[in-house]
Amino acid sequence: MASSSSEEEVTLTVKWSGKEYTVRVCGDDTVGELKRRICELTNVLPIRQKLLYPKAGSKLNDDSLFLSQLPLKSSFKMTMIGTTEEDLIVDPVESPEILDDFELGKEETVDIKDMEVNKQKLIRRISQFKIEVQNPCRKGKKLLVLDIDYTLFDHRSTAENPLQLMRPYLHEFLTSVYSEYDIMIWSATSMKWIKVKMGQLGVLDNPNYKITALLDHMAMITVQSSSRGVFDCKPLGLIWAQFPEFYSASNTIMFDDLRRNFVMNPQNGLIIKPFRKAHANRHSDQELVKLTQYLLAIAELDDLSNLDHNNWELLTEDNGKRRRHR
């Protein structure tokens, strides 16, 4: 496969737990993407998979490596070693913590968004990942897409009760913005643990608001930048393609503490201040209060795509000054 076209599809046979699975991938997919495809079939999370393949050796340990760089052949069989979450007794392994977030230059961001290879990856992901609607989309509402870790929840601190790690004013925030926005939650973890976390926090069955859908790591795609290498991101085009009559670039906003997650849709992303050290900040963090003001203020606009969300705090400050001067 190393000498073939990066867009050429190859069919691999993966052996696991006494069964064989057929996986279709392309050369411009990474090892990490291959693991996602295997996860779809086996429910073994990528972080738990060890892949064994003739002549590939330790290269299959590098999730950022492109498959076109490996000697893959359809006639060879790959072995996967791994355990599903359901069979594990120990606590779940979270996604690796990413502290080295970065901001790409404007030209590089545009290049990544417009590259044909990334557009094709998005098309493949749209066909592979079906968003399950938890509650109906509402006509005329805008869309808010929320991350979990460090956005709604401090997932690295310890506590006897998960509610102690919840960001202050979470339910008040979701209740207020629900009047104008449908709400989707998109985390880089697994669907099982999204449901566990959100269930523990009382988000999934709250009487004051409804969550439209949940998306996990399987909905993400891998892209490459010339300065920062290979990384995963959350392409909003996946949502827009599956619900074109409800959502688009003009009515969607996404909160995340990692700027890299917006690279396919930079105009729609708002960087939220990470919520860490929950025990120390539980009574002082006001981020969701201020963001409530911002979301309700911009909800009046017909088109959000021209806004610079980097300056969102200026709008809330202006609104506060106006109220004080009345």
- For the purposes of burial, counting CB atoms within 10 Å of the CB of 208, is it exposed (0-12), middle (13-18) or buried (19 or more)? exposed
Q: How does 310-320 read in b/e, with b if 16+ C-beta sit within 10 Å?
A: eebeebbeeee
Highest mean pLDDT among 14-18, 26-30, 36-40, 236-240: 236-240
**The predicted structure's pLDDT at residue 101:** 60
Total length of the chain: 326
Which range is least confidently modeled, 46-50, 104-108, 238-242, 253-257? 104-108
CB of 166 closer than 8 Å to CB of 283: no
- Of 222, 203, 193, which Cα lies nearest the Cα of 95? 193
**DSSP 8-state secondary structure symbol assigned to residue 196:** H
Pairing of strands 181-186, 9-16: unpaired
Q: Which structural domains are found in the chain, ordered by start?
A: 9-87 (3.10.20.90), 106-325 (3.40.50.1000)
pLDDT at 34 over 50: yes
pLDDT tens-digit map of 123-154: 999 998 999 999 999 999 999 999 999 999 99
Lowest-pLDDT range of 178-192, 266-280, 309-323: 309-323
What is the secondary structure of 85-115 as a DSSP string?
A: GGG--SPPPPPPP--------HHHHHHHHH-
Render the burial of 156-176: b for 16+ CB within 10 Å, e for the rest: ebeeeebeebbbbbbeebbeb
Residues 241 and 214: beta-carbon distance below 8 Å: no
Least confident of 26-30, 54-58, 139-143, 254-258: 54-58
CA distances from 67 to 60, 78, 275 (A): 9, 13, 36
For the chain, what is the radius of gyration of the CA atoms? 21
Distance CA 131, CA 215 (A): 7
Range 103-118 average pLDDT: 76
- pLDDT for 106: 65
Mapped onto helix, strand or coil, the DSSP state of residue 247 is: coil
State pLDDT tens for residues 193-247: 899 999 999 999 999 999 999 999 999 999 988 777 888 999 999 999 999 999 9
pLDDT of residue 58: 79
Contacts of 308 (CB under 8 A, 6+ apart): none
Tens digit of each residue's pLDDT (9 = 90 or more) over 61-93: 889 899 988 888 877 889 999 888 766 544 444
Q: Distance (Å, rounded) from C-alpha 30 to C-alpha 223?
A: 9
- pLDDT tens digits, residue range 262-291? 999 999 999 999 999 988 988 889 999 999
CB atoms within 10 A of CB 110: 12
